[in-house]
Chains A and B, each alone.
Chain A
Amino acid sequence: MANRAQSQYLRLFDESATYYRWQNFYFNQTVTWETASWNYHPFVLNAMVGTATQAEAGITVTIPATYIAVNALQNALDKNWLCELKMYEFDSRLSQAVPQSGQLLIGTFIGEVIGIGGSFTELDVSIGSSLAPVGAQVPPRSFSSRLVGNPIKL
């Protein structure tokens, strides 16, 4: 267990582009992984939960409220960007300078940025599904004046 180290990677993207790639392990470095550059950003992902249940269908990332982070996350919320988190495991006795090619993917999560809150210095970002757990959503439409005009009274 002592030989295991974890690195986490966060990506903000939508169908057309990736806007931010951050990693939290290689201090003050931009590293290359999966043919892309990942900037250092000290976010904290305490746990990655996979569940076959309806509960806990989301995770929370804590992130310093830097100008870049605030801007990026506000955009993510405004524009429905997706957030992908990946957790890797590698042997800490080997290189810690750059991502090891043989590091193992032990967890991945993808979701929408559904909520941001916190303080002036730190933000808690909720990542999950925007499918509301309350409220009626099906059938998705109801009869309206536009659809059926002024209907008959029987």
Chain B
Amino acid sequence: MTIKLRISDPLQLLPYQTGLLKPPLDKKAAEGNSASNLDTQQKAIELGQPVPIVFGKYVDVAGTVEDHGGVFISPGATKARYENGFSIDGTSYPTGLKVTMNMVLSQGELGQIQVQDVYQRACKKGTAVVYYGANAGALYAPGNYVTYPTLWTCPNYCGTNDGTYEDMTTLWYQNTYFEGDDTWNRQVHVFVRNGIKVPRLIEGTSGSSNNMLDLAIYLIRKTSRVPELLIDTTAMTLAANFTATNKFYWDGVITESSNLEDWMQRMAGFFLLRVSDKNGKKGFRPRLPINGNYTINTGVISWVYGFTEEHLLPDGFQIEYIPLTERKPICAQMIWRQQPPNDIGFIRTTEVRIDGEAVDGPYEQFDMSQFCTWEDHAVKVGAYEVARRKYVTHSLRIKVKPDSFNTTLVLGDIVRVQLRRETDPGLVTFHDYLYEVEKINKTVSGVVELDLMHFPIDSQGRSILALYVAGAEGTGYLYDVGRNDYTCDDPDNEGNDDPIPDDVGENNPDEPDTDVDLPNPGVDDGTGTGLPTDRPVFPGGTSTTGYPPSGSPTGNNPDDPFDDEPGGGTPITGIPNDRPIQAGDELVFAPPCCPSEVIWYQYDCDTGERMQAVYTETTSPEDNCESRYQMTGEVINQLLDGGIKFCLQGSYKCLDPGSPEGTGPEIFSDPVELTPYLPPIQCPGAQSSGGQGTYTQVVDVGEGLGTFTFGYQAYSIPDRFVITGAASLDTGNVSGSASLTITKTSADRYVFVTVYAPLSGTAWLYSVGCTTP
């Protein structure tokens, strides 16, 4: 049975699905606040940590204070060498410490890094080399080679030269420390002006970028989870132009692992975009109407299609208002990063509210500090958030009949819904709004279901949200960095915009192999893949191969005991094995359940026909749970009269209080065949003859007490004649002949004459007379 679950898609969820509403955020320290921990111990890389991705591009707006972008990172070390002794300008410092260290800056190839952009603590100092695709700098032996350990307590586990550093940008860093300098183990920081080089949507070339769409595509491709054909490059390019035109930049480092879908959804909101799955392809599209030059459209909005009652199907209108909690005015506290030229960036907040509203809060935090270095960007996002709370009021779901829009209406289009409302006598009102198409569901029946999000416009037909966002600008005020002492900077580094060398990189030539390529475990079956495929062949086997010899798929299955007929209990016992059954013999049948109802049946061994019941009994523990049936002469006579083989069958019914009859089904034992009889021969003249063997013959001598004659001829080889039943005789082994008068012991008609003739070549003959009273 297949169970198909259909999950409803409540309209209330639409604002959340579109990213218009977001789950509440925790208030916490800004994500991009890495520069607050400048003077900490150097970090080491730990296996399993995500390889950071440094993305962004420093933009120097000459002659202004509008410089922005770039990323300040604190890379982890992979190996280091500590040793004493160095010289500066010919002066030797034998107790001084020289530290050489390697670090990983980012996945991918970073753009150029300047000498002045390498820091230890807050100081621009040290010598660096950067390299992509291998460990930067020439190979050296990592380790603790300090000869003055009382002066310098350096690490002992200093890493190895192993590692491929494939598709990573690495940094070699060296610095010297005079005796007593306790900053030798401080964190090295790098201000990355040009993040990793990626294919750029707008430029069409590869290089450092600060466009979030370039980063999104890079991540989609690097995760290898989505085929290239499923990336909506057209939508991505449009969105990239939108963000670039409106100066929404991404300058940051990704160090925390997250889900790609979640990341895209979160980022989309901060770039006034929304994630779109159009025709199955992943893309982004602007949340606001745009002009042909990708600026925000603050003009009159036209709609592409109008829906009225004429289009609506019965029960085809559903409206859901945004809940009050999402409508209350807020002050959006936008957190971003001020990036001064040639210095460390720091966190800023800008509070955005609609004039006169939420003056004392509530405050809602929007942390864009991980990537936003441009105040206007943060302010425009804040403007969108506060404006949509005030003006986007509801969503619609309408079911309409198909029409010409079927081929023209696409996601993101603006439509008008005008419906006449006549609920009060004499009063006609209209539900008349513009909407943005969020979902189109075209069914086989032709019915089209549209999910629509309210698109507020002012009295002039302009998008209210677009007006708010387009008009929002930052204060432009830049804080002073708050630093007055730059003496710790190395004069050779300070202001030095020479690129640090990037032409030296060397890995361990004896790189150990840590990868396991699984060998082919089977036989290449010629499918061209070089690998075995799941094409089972089940040949007939032997007792040792596990396959059934027949090749049958069920040949090895064990029998299911519950599929068999229940056992008939113990076999019927008490049958004499040295003579025919006779009156007085007691047969025993023990069913497997107790108490039980037992019925004894006569049974025709020749035809397999169950005949009349001859005895019924209920077993009980007092009777040892056995049914005992005493054979009567009457039964034997009836059977002999019929000339049948004498068989008996027992049956039982276990007690079942749950059934209407109080018992379970009737279950039969195997029939037992009693000693077969020859058909009775009649007196007078009843006689029989034969040779070697044992033979029993029933003879009808007539009813009543009295005597009858019995004559035998055993010839020369001895035989034995035994009479049972209504008379008793045992001649023992005798030869020759004799005629005897036998006195009956009962009035029964039948006697049983058994001849035991074991010897080879023997012959015998007997005759029986009728009863004489």
- Against B, the Cβ 8 Å flags (1 = close, 0 = not) of A103-133 are 0111111111000011100101001111111
Report if B166 contacts A (CB, 8 A).
yes
Q: Is the CB of A143 within 8 A of B225?
A: no
Report if B689 contacts A (CB, 8 A).
no
Report if A144 contacts B (CB, 8 A).
yes
Report if B263 contacts A (CB, 8 A).
yes
Report if B615 contacts A (CB, 8 A).
no
* Given A47-B444, A134-B259, A146-B163, A1-B514 contact (CB < 8 Å): no
Chain B residue at minimum C-beta to C-beta distance from A51: B439
Stretch from B44-52, B723-731, B765-773 forming part of the interface with A? B44-52
* Given A53-B18, A55-B13, A137-B259, A148-B443 contact (CB < 8 Å): no
Q: Is the CB of A89 within 8 A of B406?
A: yes
Q: Is the CB of A131 within 8 A of B412?
A: no
Chain A residue at minimum C-beta to C-beta distance from B101: A152
Interface residues on chain B, number (Cβ under 8 Å): 93
Stretch from B279-287, B362-370, B482-490, B496-504 forming part of the interface with A? B279-287
Chain A residues within an 8 Å CB radius of B92? none
B480 to chain A, nearest CB (A): 34
Report if B390 contacts A (CB, 8 A).
no
Q: Is the CB of A154 within 8 A of B446?
A: no
* Given A45-B444, A149-B161, A153-B157, A52-B223 contact (CB < 8 Å): no
Chain B residues within an 8 Å CB radius of A118? 2
A138 to chain B, nearest CB (A): 5
Q: Is the CB of A154 within 8 A of B14?
A: no
- Against A, the Cβ 8 Å flags (1 = close, 0 = not) of B304-339 are 000000000000000000000000000000000000
Report if B402 contacts A (CB, 8 A).
yes
Chain A residue at minimum C-beta to C-beta distance from B1: A119
Report if B683 contacts A (CB, 8 A).
no
Report if B19 contacts A (CB, 8 A).
yes
B627 to chain A, nearest CB (A): 50
Chain B residues within an 8 Å CB radius of A108? 279
Q: Is the CB of B222 within 8 A of A147?
A: no
Q: Is the CB of A139 within 8 A of B254?
A: yes
Report if A100 contacts B (CB, 8 A).
no
From B43, B259, B437, residue with most partner A Cβ within 10 Å: B259
Report if A54 contacts B (CB, 8 A).
yes
B159 to chain A, nearest CB (A): 4
Chain A residue at minimum C-beta to C-beta distance from B47: A143
Which residues of A, 13-69, contact B by the 8 Å Cβ criterion? 15, 44-58
Q: Is the CB of A142 within 8 A of B227?
A: no
Complex formed: what's the CA distance from A37 to B353 in Å? 61
Report if A141 contacts B (CB, 8 A).
yes
B162 to chain A, nearest CB (A): 3
* Given A82-B229, A131-B226, A152-B78, A146-B164 contact (CB < 8 Å): yes
Chain A residues within an 8 Å CB radius of B276? 51-52
* Given A104-B407, A149-B160, A47-B441 contact (CB < 8 Å): yes
From A54, A55, A124, A135, residue with most partner B Cβ within 10 Å: A54
Chain B residue at minimum C-beta to C-beta distance from A145: B514
Q: Which of A52, A53, A138 contacts B260 (CB 8 A)?
A: A138
Report if B585 contacts A (CB, 8 A).
no
Chain A residue at minimum C-beta to C-beta distance from B443: A47
B32 to chain A, nearest CB (A): 16
A76 to chain B, nearest CB (A): 12
Chain B residue at minimum C-beta to C-beta distance from A8: B444
B445 to chain A, nearest CB (A): 9
Report if A4 contacts B (CB, 8 A).
yes
Report if A95 contacts B (CB, 8 A).
no
Report if A97 contacts B (CB, 8 A).
no
Q: Is the CB of B442 within 8 A of A154?
A: no
Chain B residue at minimum C-beta to C-beta distance from A79: B529
Chain A residue at minimum C-beta to C-beta distance from B161: A149
Q: Which of B9, B47, B274 contacts A52 (CB 8 A)?
A: B274
A contact residues, range: 35 or more
Chain A residue at minimum C-beta to C-beta distance from B157: A153
Complex formed: what's the CA distance from A125 to B444 in Å? 17
- Against A, the Cβ 8 Å flags (1 = close, 0 = not) of B427-464 are 00000000001111111101000010000000000000
Report if B27 contacts A (CB, 8 A).
no
- Against A, the Cβ 8 Å flags (1 = close, 0 = not) of B174-192 are 0000000000010000000
* Given A129-B226, A150-B159, A124-B4 contact (CB < 8 Å): yes
Report if B258 contacts A (CB, 8 A).
yes
Q: Is the CB of A151 within 8 A of B223?
A: no
Q: Is the CB of A52 within 8 A of B437?
A: yes
From A51, A135, A151, residue with most partner B Cβ within 10 Å: A151
* Given A54-B19, A55-B17, A112-B407 contact (CB < 8 Å): no
Report if B247 contacts A (CB, 8 A).
no
- Against A, the Cβ 8 Å flags (1 = close, 0 = not) of B732-749 are 000000000000000000
Chain B residue at minimum C-beta to C-beta distance from A14: B227
A101 to chain B, nearest CB (A): 15
Report if B209 contacts A (CB, 8 A).
no
* Given A52-B285, A106-B407, A122-B50 contact (CB < 8 Å): no
Complex formed: what's the CA distance from A117 to B515 in Å? 35
A86 to chain B, nearest CB (A): 10
Report if B77 contacts A (CB, 8 A).
yes
Report if B158 contacts A (CB, 8 A).
yes
Complex formed: what's the CA distance from A143 to B159 in Å? 14
Report if A12 contacts B (CB, 8 A).
no
Q: Is the CB of B78 within 8 A of A50?
A: no
Chain B residue at minimum C-beta to C-beta distance from A1: B401
Q: Is the CB of A143 within 8 A of B48?
A: yes
Q: Is the CB of A151 within 8 A of B18?
A: no
Chain B residue at minimum C-beta to C-beta distance from A105: B407
Report if A87 contacts B (CB, 8 A).
yes
Chain B residues within an 8 Å CB radius of A134? 259
Complex formed: what's the CA distance from A111 to B226 in Å? 9
Q: Which of B159, B167, B443 contacts A152 (CB 8 A)?
A: B159
Q: Is the CB of A151 within 8 A of B42?
A: no
Report if B246 contacts A (CB, 8 A).
no
Chain A residues within an 8 Å CB radius of B126? none
Chain B residues within an 8 Å CB radius of A148? 45, 47, 78, 104, 162-163, 165
Chain A residues within an 8 Å CB radius of B411? 50-52
Q: Is the CB of A142 within 8 A of B50?
A: yes
Chain B residues within an 8 Å CB radius of A87? 442
Complex formed: what's the CA distance from A44 to B445 in Å? 12
Q: Is the CB of B44 within 8 A of A138?
A: no
* Given A89-B407, A131-B260, A110-B229 contact (CB < 8 Å): yes
- Against A, the Cβ 8 Å flags (1 = close, 0 = not) of B229-268 are 1100000000000000000000000110111110101000
Q: Is the CB of A112 within 8 A of B227?
A: yes
Which residues of B, 28-85, contact A by the 8 Å Cβ criterion? 41-53, 76-80
Chain B residues within an 8 Å CB radius of A138? 50, 53, 219, 222-223, 254, 257-260, 263
| 7 A-B pairs with the lowest CB-CB distances in the bound complex, closest first | A149-B162, A53-B17, A152-B159, A136-B257, A149-B163, A153-B157, A57-B277
Given A50-B410, A145-B162, 10 more A-B residue pairs with CB atoms under 8 Å apart are: A46-B443, A51-B276, A57-B277, A58-B280, A124-B2, A139-B52, A144-B514, A148-B78, A148-B162, A154-B42
What is the interface of chain A, defined by CB distance below 8 A to chain B? 1, 4, 6, 15, 44-58, 80, 82, 87, 89, 104-112, 117-119, 122, 124, 127-154
A-B contact pairs, 6 of them (CB 8 A): A138-B50, A138-B53, A138-B263, A148-B47, A148-B163, A152-B158
What is the interface of chain B, defined by CB distance below 8 A to chain A? 1-2, 4, 9, 13-14, 17-19, 41-53, 76-80, 104, 107, 142, 155, 157-168, 185, 219-220, 222-227, 229-230, 254-255, 257-261, 263, 265, 274-282, 285, 401-402, 406-407, 410-412, 437-444, 446, 451, 508, 514-515
